Amino acid sequence: MSAVIIVLIILVVLVFIALVKTIQVIPQASAAIVERFGRYTRTLNAGLNIVVPFIDSIRNRIDLREQVVPFPPQPVITQDNLVVNIDTVIYYQVTDARAATYEVASYIQAIEQLTVTTLRNIIGGMDLERTLTSREDINAALRGVLDEATGKWGIRVNRVELKAIEPPTSIQDSMEKQMRAERDKRAAILTAEGTRQSAILTAEGEKQSAILRAEGESRAAALRAEGEAQAVRTVFEAIHAGDPDQKLLSYQYLQMLPKIAEGDANKLWIVPSEIGDALKGLSGAFGNVGGGAPGFNTKDVPAARREEPPVD
């Protein structure tokens, strides 16, 4: 009895193992390669799949989602013989599980080596300055070459990115000095432009101010001259309207003499020749008392120059 039980147990275990090997569940976005006696038979897609136990075997399970693979820095020589280290990141996706399994031994390693050789070809035709400023061009060229080469492997390269381009330390120091000098140059140019613009604006302001000041002075002088002319006309018209006689004019003449002699700086002043006529008119105005103004004689008037009145 014990032997029969053991045989039954063995059969149950074998049936269970057969059932497990027969039913294959493939996750979403995955694929499995099935071989029969070592030869490719079919590719299992996502879901429940039935295979022949002990005859069919699962060779490889492949993730069909987009993958991101960073590669370590690779030394690359530029056209001007400078060594730069470039970090790359590859975004790829398996489109054919069978080709990815049988066309290449390790598609990750193949993509890495192909990336390195393609980078060296591309960067070898560029100088350092162009390499640092042409990342988009390098990415596009690298992606085109990789996508064409990996197509037969069942791989599609979606994107290639250069994470970093690191030139030698000495070159970095020189570039920093060059950039610092360029920034100092731009700052000096901007400062000079600001000073020049400020001087121009200041000169324009002074010019405009001088023009306005001159116009104001010219108008003020014109107004003063016009006012003085009007005053002279008014006085002249008033004098003519009053019809002054010789006596009044002589009196006004004498009133002006003290104003002429005012001031410490007036060491010398001139008595006009008409003063004699004025004094005669004034003496006549006071009447014939004493024969004229008492004690007043034209000879007593100090003068720097005396002129006899003209004889009619």
Q: CATH number for the domain including 118?
A: 3.30.479.30
* Residue at a domain's end among 222, 241, 260: 241
Give the C-alpha separation, 285 to 301, whole Å.
Answer: 19
Q: Do 74 and 46 share a structural domain?
A: no
Give me the pLDDT at residue 306, please: 42
Residue 185 maps to a domain: no
Residue 84 maps to a domain: yes
Residue 3 maps to a domain: no
Residue 158 maps to a domain: yes
* Residue at a domain's end among 219, 241, 263: 241
Residue 216 maps to a domain: yes
Residue 290 maps to a domain: no
Q: Do 95 and 165 share a structural domain?
A: yes
* SS3 readout for the chain: CHHHHHHHHHHHHHHHHHHHHHEEEECCCEEEEEEECCEEEEEECCEEEECCCCCEEEEEEEECCCEEEEEEEEEEECCCCCEEEEEEEEEEEECCHHHHHHCCCCHHHHHHHHHHHHHHHHHCCCCHHHHHHCHHHHHHHHHHHHHHHHHHHCEEEEEEEEEEEECCHHHHHHHHHHHHHHHHHHHHHHHHHHHHHHHHHHHHHHHHHHHHHHHHHHHHHHHHHHHHHHHHHHHHHHHHHHCCCHHHHHHHHHHHHHHHCCCCCCCCCCCCCCHHHHHHHHHHHCCCHHHCCCCCCHHHCCCCCCCCCCCC
Is the separation of the CB atoms in 268 and 300 below 8 Å?
A: no
Residue 16 maps to a domain: no
The CA–CA distances, whole Å, from 181 to 177, 191, 192, 251 equal 6, 15, 16, 90
Task: Please give the chain's pLDDT, 312 residues, in tens.
Answer: 577 788 778 888 887 887 778 888 889 989 999 998 889 999 999 888 888 888 888 888 999 999 999 988 888 888 888 888 888 999 999 999 999 999 988 889 999 999 989 998 988 888 888 888 888 888 888 888 888 888 899 999 988 888 888 887 777 777 777 778 888 888 889 989 989 898 999 898 888 888 988 888 888 888 888 888 888 778 777 777 766 666 666 666 666 666 666 655 555 555 555 556 655 655 555 554 444 444 444 444 444 444 444 444
Q: Do 83 and 42 share a structural domain?
A: no
Task: Give the domain range for residue 58.
Answer: 21-62
Q: Do 204 and 112 share a structural domain?
A: no
Biggest CA-to-CA distance, the chain: 195
Is the separation of the CB atoms in 145 and 118 below 8 Å?
A: yes
Is the separation of the CB atoms in 157 and 91 below 8 Å?
A: yes
Q: Do 149 and 218 share a structural domain?
A: no
Q: Do 111 and 80 share a structural domain?
A: yes
Q: Do 88 and 40 share a structural domain?
A: no
Give me the pLDDT at residue 242, please: 66
Q: Do 150 and 124 share a structural domain?
A: yes
Q: Do 156 and 80 share a structural domain?
A: yes
Q: How many domains does the chain have?
A: 3
Residue 266 maps to a domain: no
